Amino acid sequence: MKKRKKVQKESPFIHETMPHQMNAPSFEGTGIKMQPPFENSYGVIIGDSKYRSENSPLENWSVETDPEIMAGDEWIHPTNDIGWNTQENRELLENQRAPFGYPSMHPTKDVSRDVD
């Protein structure tokens, strides 16, 4: 895997989600932290939600362009990727979310009784 160069950009994240994306999942409570955009080895900014970059092969496509050039991890942002909007990946996030409340934390009541 090629080394990623960190990019200082204004973060599009609010409360561990991407409100500018319709149906974007929230990472809040999952233990997954939103990651900032990065510049890959081709000089393309990944994860800034602008999807256009002067250096992108998509902006410079020709019949000589090998589509494989855009394969691999350096083209995928770990948290700002459209793949998180799929039902399967949203379920993965829900399974990582901490359960609501702490059932046995009441000082005098057994609040975990009959919950299963």
Residue 26 has pLDDT above 70, yes or no: yes
CA–CA distance, 45 with 54 (Å, rounded to integer): 9
Q: Would you kindly state where each structural domain of the chain is located, as residue ranges?
A: 1-116
Got the DSSP string for 20-84? TSTTPPB-TTTTPPP---EE-TTS-EESSS----TT-TTTT--TT--GGGG-SGGGS-SSS-GGG
The alpha carbon torsion through 94, 14, 53, 56 (nearest 10 deg) reads: -20
pLDDT tens digits for 90-112?
888 888 876 655 555 556 666 66
* Whole-structure pTM value: 0.62
The overall average pLDDT reported for the chain is 77
CA–CA dist 61, 67 (Å, integer): 9
CA distance 42 to 80: 19
pLDDT tens, position by position, 59-88: 999 999 999 999 999 999 998 888 888 889
Decide which of 71 and 3 is more confident.
71
